[in-house]
Each structure stands twice: as C-alpha cells, then as structure tokens.
Amino acid sequence: MDFLADTRPLAGDLTELRHRLHRHPEIGLHLPRTQEAVFEALEGLGLELSTGDSCSSVVGVLRGTAPGDTSVPVPPGTVQAGPSNRRPVVLLRGDMDALPITEDVDVPFRSTIQGRMHACGHDLHTSMLVGAAWALGSRRDRLPGDVVFMFQPGEEGFDGAGHMIAEGVLRAAGRLPDAAYALHVLSNLDRGLVTTRAGALMAASDAVFVTVRGRGGHGSSPHLAADPVPAACEMVLALQTAMSRTVDTFAPSVLTVGRIAAGTRRNVIPETAEFDATVRTIDPAVRAQLAELVPRVCRGVAAAHGVEVDVRYEAEYPVTVNDADEAAFALDVAAGLFGTSAALRMQNPIMGAEDFSRVLAEVPGAMLFLGAFPGERDSGRAPSIHSPQAAFDDAVLPDGAALLAALAARRLATAATTTTAR
C-alpha cells in the first residue's frame, strides 16, 4: 500500500484542520471545540466512535475486513494465520491539548486566545492521526485486523492517557492491542527526519511543590522576622548541589525550578515563599533516591534558617520505554517510506516526559520523533517545543499521516501471521 500517495492529496484538508485547531487551543482534559473538530473530520469513515466521561477524548475503531490475505509484505518464515486465530489490533495515539503560553509566532492562523498556544505540536499530531484514519479507512478491505485511533486530551501534565486507559481505551477493539505507536513532531529537527531508539526514549517526570513558612515583618528589620525568601533561594541552590554530589554522574537526572513566588512589595518580609520544580530521571533507582533526597534537603535548609517547610513530592509519568523489536520495526517502516537516510537511531534518551509511557507500559510499541522544522537550515538553532516562538511546517502533515497508517497496516499484517521458526 502506498500511503504517501494516499495522504499527499490530503495535504490541504489536513492543513486546514491543523490551522483550525491552532487558532482555538484548549488546555487540560476538557477540550470541547477540539473534540467537535475531530468528530467532524472522522464523519463518514465508518468508525466505531466513542467519547470519554472524565475527559474530552475521542476513540475510533476501524474494523478491517481482509480475512488475513493482504498484499502488505510480511517477514520471511511466516505463514498466514488461520480463520480461528484472533484478529490483531494496533493502536495509534494523537494528543490534542495545548499549553498555557502566549504565542509569539507571526502566522495567519496564530492563536486567537491570549495565553494559550499549540507550542508542542499537538495540533499536528491530531491532524496526522485524522489523516491516518482517512487513509486506512479507504483500505479497510486490505486490513486483516482492527485499528484503534486514540485522540487524547490532557497530555501536558493532566495524565490524559491514564484517564483514557482507566476508561478502557486499550480494550476498545475488544482486546489489548498487539502494538501501539505515536509520533511527536519536533520544531528543531529537519523536516521529514524520523528518529527513535530501543529502550528508554524519554524520562520519568515527578513534580515538587515547596512552601516555606516564616514570620513576616518589615524589610528593614529582618532580625525581628523569620524570612522565608532566602531560605527558599538556598533550597533551590542546595538541591542542585545535592544532586551533583549524590546521583551517579552517568545516571541522567534533572531538577528544574520553574516557578518561585513570594511577597507583595519590596519592603515587606512575607509570611511564605513557594517554588515548584520538575524532576526528570531515567533509572528507577535514581527516581526513588531523589524522592527521598529532595524533601530531606529542603527540611535541612529550613531548620538552619529557623523556618518551616512543607514539601509535596508527586510521581507523575513513568519512563517512556520503547519495545526493542517495535522500535526497529518502526524505523524500518519509516525508511521504506522516506528513504534510509531519513530514519535515524537516537543515541541517547531525552529528558522530556510523555504520558504515552502509560500505554507502552501495557502494550509493546514505540514512540517516534518527526522533524517539522519550517526552514531550510540551522534547525538546531530553532526554538524548541514549548517555546512561544515554536513553529512547525505544515508540509510534514501528510508524511506523519502516512507513517502512522503504514505502521498500523504493516503491523497488522505481521500480527496476522504465525511464526514457523522457533
């Protein structure tokens, strides 16, 4: 099946959908306008559609009608499964939510909502998944199994995947998928390049919320107060030092304080100071180590300053772990579509986090990165995702749709076989 030939004529429609989503970004688990746009785009495809109760998710199930005889190439040494075998299932995920960021990109379709922006490319992910549904829907007679389309809200810190799994997305087709795949566009990777790796792809993420409680007073007389501000500042620095002295140099870990707040005016010592941080790790042992270290360091600094501290350490997403066979398979599919020079193996994981990790913890599969840099050179200097200046090339939309469709079709074909070699 030539999915690039199927999706390239859809470029205009996919771009129009992406621009519609980009103009009206929604945040969190409840995305009514986005959900409506997805429903409209899937209308007439003959999918079994459902929505979530705890979030504005959309799940579509495409039932392939091929009896098992398909023209999609399958590996040597396999035979087609007989009619008594269960039909295979593949899940494809596209996330839909935006970020609380004010857009600073001068495009005709820029966000119409102040303080909200599709800075992570989820508008592209959603449009690509719709494109894959269009392409696969026209080929259902050649699919020897079923495809689940998982349109997910709340990836940006709201655990939308966890909500959808709790509501049964992994059994939407009647049983667990044989494999699951997702794409993530990158604004600072050359357009059309596809990259992934076996094993750990992205980090686990945890959240830290710290409140330092002192005793307020006049800024001219700190000796009569218990100032929480310098204590909070020292905690931020002490945490960085403690990590460098405690965690193995060869075990990746990151702690970044993204918010710090205190006070009302310059000459008033406040009662409290707060800061929030994110912690990223790859090794579960290091993750457990930092869950103990961070509160201990904050309590020690607080004691030295004569203030009190409340530390809330919350586990968020686990490590995103690609199945080795599925990662190799996905790169092979990408190489077949775009050429071997476009399919690259990543050397190291990145410290971003993903709730698709929850799907991959239950189902073998892989996440891949797809370059969407909108220029011709210096992609490495381009603003990254989550930047107000992040920009993406619409031209990548048919490529992403074709890659998702090809992953599903080829994986269904291989899953519909029984390996003879043992």
Confidence at residue 120, expressed as pLDDT on a 0 to 100 scale: 96
**CA gap 158, 44 in Å, rounded:** 31
Reply yes or no on whether the pLDDT at 379 is more than 90.
no
Tell me what the pLDDT averaged over the chain comes to: 92
Reply yes or no on whether the pLDDT at 148 is more than 90.
yes
Confidence at residue 86, expressed as pLDDT on a 0 to 100 scale: 79
Please give the CATH topology (third level) of the domain spanning 204-315: Alpha-Beta Plaits (3.30.70)
Reply yes or no on whether the pLDDT at 376 is more than 70.
yes
What is the average per-residue pLDDT within 23-47?
96
Greater confidence (381 vs 307) lies with 307
pLDDT in tens, 194-231: 999 999 999 999 999 999 999 999 999 999 999 999 99
What is the average per-residue pLDDT within 220-244?
97
Can you name the residues that pair with 218 across neighbouring β-strands?
268
Domain 3-202+319-419: give its CATH superfamily: Zn peptidases (3.40.630.10)
Confidence at residue 417, expressed as pLDDT on a 0 to 100 scale: 74
SS3 (DSSP) at 146: strand
Can you name the residues that pair with 99 across neighbouring β-strands?
117
CATH 3.30.70.360 in the chain, residue ranges:
204-315
pLDDT in tens, 313-361: 999 999 999 999 999 999 999 999 999 999 999 999 999 999 999 999 9
Confidence at residue 39, expressed as pLDDT on a 0 to 100 scale: 94
Range list of H helices, 308-396: 324-338, 356-360
What is the average per-residue pLDDT within 108-112?
96
CATH 3.40.630.10 in the chain, residue ranges:
3-202+319-419
Confidence at residue 78, expressed as pLDDT on a 0 to 100 scale: 42
Under the banding of pLDDT at 50, 70 and 90, the label for residue 68 is low
**CA gap 258, 100 in Å, rounded:** 14
